[in-house]
A = this chain, B = another copy of it.
Amino acid sequence: MTEFFKGIPAIKYEGPDSTNEFAFRHYNADELILGKRMEDHLRFAVAYWHSFAWPGGDPFGGQTFERPWFGDSMELARLKADVAFELFDILGQPFYCFHDADVRPEGKTFAESKKNLDAIVDYIAEKQASHKAKLLWGTANMFSHRRWMAGAATNPDPDVYAYAAASVKANMDATLKLGGQNYVLWGGREGYETLLNTDLKAERDHAGRFLQQVVEYKYKIGFKGTILIEPKPQEPSKHQYDYDVATVYGFLKEFGLEKEVKTNIEQGHAILAGHSFEHEIALAAALGIFGSIDMNRNDYQSGWDTDQFPNNHAEKALAFYEILRAGGYTTGGTNFDAKIRRQSLEPADLVLAHVGGMDTCARALKAAAKMLEEGELEAARKARYAGWDTPAAQAMLKGSLEDAAARVSAEGLEPQPKSGRQERLENLVNRYV
């Protein structure tokens, strides 16, 4: 045991009335919700990058955190992993996620970086064997190092494409080795800074082909997990090709990948793209590409990615409602892609931010499940569209524009609007949250 979380107990469920900061008030892993354990519904994961690799910097300030594992040696990387698994244990988290750059020191060459990665993956594999937490997903960091500044698969330099292929291959191999359930691609630099120097079509084509190669490789190595794309509209790029769920869908269709690749949806990214979180989930579900969640919240008054821990259960209930309607996660999960504020210097802050986030999600899940179970909302929705269940309505869809048009004069249609009852439905939701 390291000393980092010294004095901080494993977090237990104590119920809503507990005033113990170091307890769950809502998250009760074994409690059955819709016949499934809460843990199996929520499938929480800790994000290695925010919690262990981020130094607390922002665009106007540098490091605020002072962590004993900060530095570039393999020894420190192992210490970092030790502390990480201690956090997973404290929280009882079933999963975690990482980029290569989070877990191993960057080498001077690709070979050295790869060697570092392999070694730390071995180390983590050992830790997995003796701890509860498993890998939800792995990914390659192809945005931080200066080589990626103009893109990875979309780089004007084909050598960088090759480097990206090598990086993804290494990380898919690592993910397979660790039994990861998904592999994620977030293309923070797969976009552009200015159209003036960009060949948009070529870059999209390269990105599409790259993704096909990734899928082909998945089958080759027998990786059974899901390949996930994480949409984001911009930042760091001015424009990112994977803007939002609808954009990703078109991209997958263009490259014949809509059955192969799903989406990892982040609340903050949804907000930055002008959507509600629940919209993105509902749309992905409707399009058959819902995969997993990066759980956080974006400050509504900030125009950049704030990656804060979620704290409004009423809001998140609408997201979990859409997840439940979509049948819940399969390989996906609820990954806390959330970082404590740079002023939150204490180890306890890191623990308690997760506790708060987990409780927020648990409370949201319970509300969503009850809402679905009692069925009033679904009944209202079904009633609103009931007209479409008639044979005449279905025939109209199969027929021609003229056939449909002909009904207006034949039947003297002058349809009268009906109340959408939005506020009543909002009140209904408020019974549950």
Question: CB-CB < 8 A to A217: which residues of B?
Answer: 400-402
Q: Which of B62, B148, B304, B396 contacts A59 (CB 8 A)?
A: B304
The interface residues of chain B lying within 8 Å CB-to-CB of A109 are: 412, 414
Q: Mark A178-220, 1 if CB is under 8 A from B, else 0.
A: 0000000000110001111111111010100110011011001
Q: By the criterion of a CB under 8 Å from any partner CB, how many residues of chain A are at the interface?
A: 156
Q: How does the 8 Å CB contact mask read for A283-314 relative to B, with 1 for contact and 0 for none?
A: 10011000000000001111111000101111
Q: Are B213 and A404 in contact (CB under 8 A)?
A: yes
A8 within 8 A of B: no
Indicate whether A341 reaches chain B with its CB closer than 8 angstroms. Answer: yes
Asked whether A119 is an interface residue with its Cβ less than 8 Å from the other chain, the reply is no
Determine if A145 is an interface residue (Cβ-Cβ < 8 Å).
yes
Stoichiometry (number of copies): 4
Whether A419 and B304, one on each chain, are in contact in the complex, defined by CB atoms closer than 8 angstroms, is no
Within 8 A of B (CB), among A389-433: 390, 392-393, 396-397, 399-402, 404-409, 411-427, 429-431
Please name all residues of chain B whose beta carbon is closer than 8 Å to the beta carbon of A426 when the two chains form the complex.
194, 196, 309, 311, 356
A161 within 8 A of B: yes
* Contact of A177 with B by CB under 8 A: no
10 more contacts with CB within 8 A, not counting A61-B148, A341-B423, A349-B419, are: A21-B427, A60-B189, A155-B415, A158-B392, A196-B381, A202-B385, A202-B388, A206-B388, A206-B397, A250-B250
Verify if A348 is at the interface (C-beta below 8 Å from B).
yes
Out of B272, B276, B312, B424, name the residue touching A315 (CB < 8 Å).
Answer: B312
